[in-house]
Amino acid sequence: MKYFQTIKQNKQSCYAAATLLSILLLAIFIGNSGFKKDKQVSKPNIIVILIDDAGYADFGFMGSKDLQTPHIDQLAVTAVRFTDAHVTASVCSPSRAGLLTGKYQQRFGYECNEGEGYTGMDPAQIILPAILQQQGYATAAFGKWHLGFKPDQHPLQKGFQYYYGFLSGGRSYFYRPDKDDRPGSKNALIENQQQVQFDGYLTDVLADKATAYIRQNRNHPFFMYWAPNAVHTPMEASKADLDRFAKHPRQKLAAMTYALDRAIGKIIDELKKQGLFENTLIFFLSDNGGAHNNESNNFPLKGFKGNKYEAGHRIPFLVSWPKQISGGKAFKGLTSSLDIFPTALAAAGVQTNASMRLDGVSLLPFLRSNENKNPHAQLVWRKDAAAAIRLNQYKMIRVNGLGERLYNLNKDPGETTDLRTQQPQIFSMMKQQLLAWEKDKMKPAWTEGAMWDTITLMIHDDLMNNRKVRVHNPEELAKFRVKK
């Protein structure tokens, strides 16, 4: 009896000790974290607004005269606007892989869009929300994922605690039980792991989900990755938005862009309503340049989505954090979407280290000074056969089977005048620098297949020779072959 009493007493004292320890650990955690509620919150919320296939010139703040983007333009007034910012790929999927890992995606073979032998995100890669979650941030992703379909590539397995969106690269903007939303479809809308129905226009729905999330998480820091499929094809808009632009020459894009702007306006308004806007770090950008098939306008840049000319990868980019960064100015330094990762960590007070192998830099020191210094002296792009390197004002494009071109972007932003013979030393140096960059990168883990390889090669051939592009897609290639 005494023996059992002793065990019972010991157990009770163990429970008491464990409870005390839990309370102590929690107290230490809260004490250290700076995540106490309300007034003591100091860590900023972080939002990445990643839109899809938008044209370089298709926002009021980028000079558009015919598309209406009043809310994004208002954000641009108070934010820092970048004039030389680039994503790491000119197509959706690898661009997202680079942004979320903070590394050149060629480090892990994620070089091409979904295609032959596609395997998606290397599960070993740690992405931004996983680190922020460890630091006490609530994390959520909305919209297009396009980083793989396997269970261990799901947003919930990669550090997001909540997900509302679809795993593929594109879908209808309306609920389609007969098509995109049929049971088991890769395009289906899901909430966490569950397939769900939705009413109305998807861009609006993604905004409503985001504002609800902001309200629910207003008392502690959150990281939100808001990645609508707008303005990617299919070209679909609500009747009301289409009616508004009934006579517009780019009616569908104008309506889709207007809906996108309304959605971003809702998110910003909710932040303001909750008193969070000042201490929220917002990144706004597109995942690649305007596509040939969505009526977009990349003026004055050459090329479009999918190639190595500037319109493929130079993107509209805004950074807003009113509490820490004075806005209303243009930043001209050479910048990459790779910089989002270290900038977000710096803002959250997280130390980066060499083992993370990040390729970007924190933009905060650049934005806090009034000088337009270059965050990067060099940026590189590569998708299978086509590569490009930027070194200060020079850009070299190299396409296997077609050779190279060298441009001076300061004098020739439209990339028309080849300088290889005039600037042989710079040309030679850039070729060497590109080879040096490639030394520690992998070969693509999959490719886009023979059809797209041919199309991309023909597009580069035309652009490199300043010709009209003959073929943009498989349908045009088939017609071209018949004509020949």
Smallest distance, Å, CB 207 to Ca ion? 19
What does the per-residue mask of binding to Ca ion show for 2-41, with x meaning CB under 5 A? ----------------------------------------
Binding part of the chain for Ca ion, among 174-182, 286-294, 359-367, 389-397 by CB under 5 A, reads 286-294
Phi, psi of 198 (to 5 degrees): -145, 155
Site string for Ca ion, 228-267 (x = CB under 5 A): ----------------------------------------
Cβ count within 10 A of residue 197: 9
CB-CB contact of 210 with 143 (8 Å): no
Is residue 52 part of the contact set for Ca ion (CB under 5 A)? yes
Nearer to Ca ion, 288 or 337 (CB): 288
CB 286 to Ca ion: min, Å:
7
Residue 214 or 285 with smaller CB distance to Ca ion: 285
Interface with Ca ion by CB under 5 A: which range of 48-56, 67-75, 153-161, 372-380?
48-56
Q: By C-beta, is 92 or 348 nearer to Ca ion?
A: 92
Q: Which of 48, 53, 207, 296 lies at the binding interface for Ca ion (CB under 5 A)?
A: 53
What residue number has its CB nearest to Ca ion? 92
Is the CB of 50 or the CB of 391 nearer to Ca ion? 50
Q: How far is the CB of 113 from Ca ion (least distance, A)?
A: 9
Q: 353 to 382, contacts with Ca ion by CB under 5 A?
A: none
Q: Which of these segments, 47-55, 206-214, 383-391, 450-458, binds Ca ion (CB under 5 A)? A: 47-55
Q: Should residue 288 be labelled a site residue for Ca ion when binding is judged by CB under 5 A?
A: yes
Q: State in angstroms the smallest separation of the CB of 385 from Ca ion.
A: 20
Q: How many residues bind Ca ion (CB under 5 A)?
A: 5
Of 45 and 95, CB closest to Ca ion: 95
CB closer to Ca ion out of 114 and 181:
114
Identify which range of 17-25, 50-58, 237-245, 474-482 contacts Ca ion by CB under 5 A: 50-58
Which one among 261, 287, 339, 448 touches Ca ion, defined by CB under 5 A? 287
Residues 82-141 that bind Ca ion (CB under 5 A): 92
Q: In this complex, which beta carbon is closest to Ca ion, that of residue 230 or of residue 267?
A: 230
The secondary structure of the chain, three-state, reads: CHHHHHHHHHHHHHHHHHHHHHHHHHHHHHHHHCCCCHHHCCCCEEEEEEECCCCCCCCHHHCCCCCCCHHHHHHHHHCEEECCEECCCCCHHHHHHHHHHCCCHHHHCCCCCCCECCCCCCCCCCCHHHHHHHCCCEEEEEEECCCCCCHHHCHHHCCCCEEEEECCCCCCCCCCCCCCCCCCCCCCCEECCEECCCCCCHHHHHHHHHHHHHHHCCCCCEEEEEECCCCCCCCCCCHHHHHHCCCCCCHHHHHHHHHHHHHHHHHHHHHHHCCCHHHEEEEEEECCCCCCCCCCCCCCCCCCCCCCCHHHHECCEEEECCCCCCCCEEECCCEEHHHHHHHHHHHCCCCCCHHHCCCCCCCHHHHHCCCCCCCCCEEEEEECCEEEEEECCEEEEEECCCEEEEEECCCCCCCCCCCCCCCHHHHHHHHHHHHHHHCCCCCCCCECCHHHHHHHHHHHHHHHCCCCCCCCCHHHHHHHHHHC
Neighbours of 472 (CB within 10 A): 17
Asked if 298 and 57 count as a contact pair (C-beta separation under 8 A), the reply is yes
Of 109-117, 285-293, 373-381, 383-391, the window that binds Ca ion (rule: CB under 5 A) is 285-293
Q: Strand pairing of 335-336 and 138-144?
A: unpaired
CB of 311 to Ca ion, least distance (A): 13
279 is an interface residue for Ca ion by CB under 5 A: no
Closest CB to Ca ion among residues 122, 287: 287
Q: Which stretch binds Ca ion (CB under 5 A): 3-11, 233-241, 282-290, 338-346?
A: 282-290
**For residues 235 and 429, which CB has a smaller minimum distance to Ca ion in the complex?**
235
Q: Should residue 58 be labelled a site residue for Ca ion when binding is judged by CB under 5 A? A: no
Q: Smallest distance, Å, CB 395 to Ca ion?
A: 21
Q: Report the interface residues with Ca ion, using CB under 5 A.
A: 52-53, 92, 287-288
